[in-house]
Structure 1
Amino acid sequence: MAEQKEATVTFGVLNETSDTESRVALTPDIVTRLGRNGISCIIESGAGNAAEYTDEDYQDAGATVASRDEVIATADALGFIDRPSAETVAKLKAGQWVIGMLGSFTDTAYVESLSNAGLVGVAIEKLPRQLSSAQSMDEMTSQNSVMGYKAAITAANAYGAFLPMMTTAAGTIRPAKALVLGAGIAGLQAIGTLKRLGAVVTAYDVRPASKGEVESLGAKFLDLGLDFSKGQGEGGYARALSAEEQAQQQAAVDEKASGFDIVITTAKVPGRKPPVLLTKAGVNGLHRGAVIVDCAASDLGGNVEGSAVGEQVTEGGVKLIGAPYLASGVATTASNLLSRNVADVLSHFVRDGKLGMDLTEELDNALVVAGRIETAEKKEEK
């Protein structure tokens, strides 16, 4: 067993389990890994149960299992799947670090509340993906990969026929035709999973580079007869389309979608309203029994016009599933990946045995969204 360094920083994780959340931001193997770097872990009792990790698993790995109040009182930094509620923020102490998906793109008031509380906020959604040193910290990539896999499984489960072609004594069953809109991390994983299940897969994305990626997985690239040559935005994410481009895309997708049995949409724009890729006309054009899984469904809307979180059946018999919580449905794997992301972000900021930052570094400057001035001044005083 690798030698454990004397702990100088304490990392805490709270129980975030809810009706829609089964993941945990720390797994037992990461407890051991952090211990080698001089970081001790404290976790709220029951936090890992929904992801199949017991309190005993954490204790065996070297973590302290405690009450919620004890975790808050002890931790130097806390890791979150999402972000702490206003009630939790009120209980945190000035100087503590908060690491998670903080919604900093759209909720400046929340970031300001962290700063006003004297907390240091580290927003993983602002991770500059182009930096090779940041790849293992990219929670959005890891969780989108899980989401894409689960989207394909969800669609297959909801579809009332086989996905693969089968030849039986009673005749040959044709394979299902699936369309994946958005060929980023989630889309590519959905494509690969649908292919493994035997479906005939077609995909589309506005980014020119995605065509080769789609075809490398054995899928066809949907030709809409359109050219959005500047479809890729900063950091590798898809950019939001202009109003004219959206209208052109929607009309073309609506027309093409009618030939498919399954449609999966994955086009999220971080922190912003997702683009509508399939209108009501497109939905109505699908045959009875067709299935749509909208991974981008949220309070801000979705990729499918009229979609909402949950399942609905249209008057035409199309199943429309708004599924933003798919990663939580594969909680064990999702937690394994997410906890590594959060732990690597934390480890990056442990320098000389203490939590600290250098705001001249690109990665630090991108991730630290609250507590900047206070922390910088303290550093200067030292």
Structure 2
Amino acid sequence: MTTVGVLRETAGRERRVALTPDGVARLRKLDVAVLVEAGAGARAWFEDIGYEGAGAVVAGRDRVYADSDVLLCLHPPDDVAACRPGQVLIGLLNPRSNRDLMQRLATAGVTVISLDLLPRTLSRAQAMDALTSQANVAGYKAALLAAEAYSGFFPMLMTAAGTTRPAQVLVLGAGVAGLQAIATARRLGALVTGYDVREAARADIASTGATVLAGPERTGKEGEGGYARELSDDEQSAQQSALDEAIPRFDVIITTAQVPGRPAPRLVSENALSKMRPGSVVIDLAAAPDGGNVEGSIPDTRTVTDAGVTVIGAANLASTVPGAASTAYARNALALLTHLMPRGEVVLDLDDEILAAVVVSHGGALTRKEIRS
């Protein structure tokens, strides 16, 4: 019988868990044993007793490593060296930025599967698309966080004391997170505008009822897997000039633009920030130590500029909605496990287009050439 192990996340502010009790119950119906590290789901309000009631064995971390054939996580564990040869590690492992770690795991004989490599263009893999499910949560929370931080109201309010105008919100990047942020901000009553370099994404913005921000005309902005590609220097310059002019007109900016395997594009410059009205808010969902969409944003940090603009680096917003985010991620993981173990045992067919896309290492070697250092 195959055993799936669930690890407690070791990243400091991470509250999600890779499998919920409901997911355990579904695996048990497939005659798959489940080991859950004690306290793995506590920060998402999934208690050990719930896992045991669903049919899992709750155990210490050492046992989960030792007795599991497949390990589930979100981020690479701090003690990932505890993985043994032949084990399968599944998570959002960001292999393009963790190449040395991927090489060490490959050398150790660990089969690594990273869900963030799944192309969004594979329609039969949509149920496994963890990036989409987590981006959906992050976009929703970004709009709520912006509304909380903004010094005014999102909706227009008409009272005996007068009328308050609605907030003007600009969402940069119309992927899953951006579109969810647009939809949520509109439901809160804001006047919302969206921007994206991709023609299809601009059509998606319009379909929500939001206004589309015009920008410099370009062609061929689509990258691999449905993501935006990195812009040329000339394209970046033209885009920055247009955004610098537009951004100060808005009360709230939410940025969501990322390019897989590359630093996030800079969209909100210091010049644009300096011209925004005091009390305005900027939420950077792409904030990272090496820079995000917003100049000067710091991951997990709220700062206020000299001009009175609140800038929030919010790269891990899905973790702040841990119950919903964990439930969505667990469904993605279950869909992959069902595909990987059609009869309850691991069958790794690298000719399968889904597995070929997400398997990073197998048999002691890296399988994706772009991951090789």
Shorter-chain TM-score tier? over 0.9
For structure 2, which runs of at least 5 residues remain unmatched after alignment?
Answer: 368-373
Match of 1:368 in 2: 359
Question: Equivalents in 2 of 1:235, 1:19: separation in Å?
Answer: 31
- State the 1:62 CA deviation: 0.8
**Does structure 1 residue 350 correspond to structure 2 residue 341?**
yes
Comparing 354-363 with 160-169, greater Cα deviation is found at 354-363
Deviations 1:62-112 (A, max 9, x none): 111111111111110001111122xx2222211110001222223321111
Question: Equivalents in 2 of 1:218, 1:140: separation in Å?
Answer: 25
Deviations 1:285-322 (A, max 9, x none): 11111000000001121001121111111000000101
CA contact (8 A) 1:42 1:71 kept: yes
Match of 1:47 in 2: 40
Question: Equivalents in 1 of 2:343, 2:27: separation in Å?
Answer: 15
**Does structure 1 residue 62 correspond to structure 2 residue 52?**
no
Match of 2:371 in 1: none
Change (3 A) 1:48 1:367: same
**Does structure 1 residue 338 correspond to structure 2 residue 329?**
yes
**Does structure 1 residue 264 correspond to structure 2 residue 254?**
yes
What amino acid sits opposite 2:304 in the alignment? V
CA contact (8 A) 2:119 2:226 kept: no
Secondary structure of 1:122's counterpart equals strand
Change (3 A) 1:366 1:18: closer
**Does structure 1 residue 297 correspond to structure 2 residue 305?**
no
**Does structure 1 residue 311 correspond to structure 2 residue 302?**
yes
Secondary structure of 2:249's counterpart equals coil
Q: TM-score, normalised by structure 1?
A: 0.93
What amino acid sits opposite 1:350 in the alignment? M
Question: Equivalents in 2 of 1:325, 1:374: separation in Å?
Answer: 31
Change (3 A) 1:373 1:71: closer
**Does structure 1 residue 138 correspond to structure 2 residue 133?**
no
Question: Equivalents in 2 of 1:104, 1:264: separation in Å?
Answer: 27
CA contact (8 A) 1:114 1:371 kept: no
Query: Identity over the aligned pairs, expressed in percent?
Result: 47
Residue in structure 1 matching 2:68, options 61, 72, 75: 75
What amino acid sits opposite 1:278 in the alignment? V
Secondary structure of 2:194's counterpart equals strand
Residue in structure 2 matching 1:238, options 199, 220, 228: 228
Change (3 A) 1:218 1:356: same
Question: Equivalents in 2 of 1:176, 1:17: separation in Å?
Answer: 38
Question: Equivalents in 2 of 1:157, 1:251: separation in Å?
Answer: 29
Secondary structure of 2:360's counterpart equals strand
Match of 2:267 in 1: 277
Aligned-residue Cα RMSD (Å) equals 1.5
Question: Equivalents in 2 of 1:25, 1:97: separation in Å?
Answer: 14
Secondary structure of 1:12's counterpart equals strand
**Does structure 1 residue 251 correspond to structure 2 residue 241?**
yes
Match of 1:213 in 2: 204
What amino acid sits opposite 1:313 in the alignment? V
Match of 1:31 in 2: 24
Deviations 1:161-180 (A, max 9, x none): 11100110100000000000
Secondary structure of 2:303's counterpart equals strand
CA contact (8 A) 2:10 2:77 kept: no
CA contact (8 A) 2:81 2:105 kept: no
Question: Equivalents in 1 of 2:265, 2:202: separation in Å?
Answer: 20
CA contact (8 A) 1:125 1:270 kept: no
Deviations 1:16-69 (A, max 9, x none): 155411000000111111122222211111111111111111111111111111
Deviations 1:207-253 (A, max 9, x none): 101122111111000012x1122112111111111111111111100
Match of 1:193 in 2: 184
Q: TM-score, normalised by structure 2?
A: 0.95
Deviations 1:262-302 (A, max 9, x none): 00000011232000011111111111110000000011210
Question: Equivalents in 1 of 2:122, 2:102: separation in Å?
Answer: 24
Deviations 1:113-136 (A, max 9, x none): 111111100111111221122111
What amino acid sits opposite 1:57 in the alignment? G
Question: Equivalents in 1 of 2:331, 2:325: separation in Å?
Answer: 10
**Does structure 1 residue 172 correspond to structure 2 residue 163?**
yes
Question: Equivalents in 1 of 2:261, 2:50: separation in Å?
Answer: 35
CA contact (8 A) 2:109 2:363 kept: no
Change (3 A) 1:375 1:233: closer
- State the 1:137 CA deviation: 0.8
What amino acid sits opposite 1:325 in the alignment? N
Secondary structure of 1:336's counterpart equals helix
Secondary structure of 1:203's counterpart equals strand
Question: Equivalents in 2 of 1:67, 1:370: separation in Å?
Answer: 27
Secondary structure of 1:355's counterpart equals coil
**Does structure 1 residue 153 correspond to structure 2 residue 139?**
no
* Count of paired positions: 366
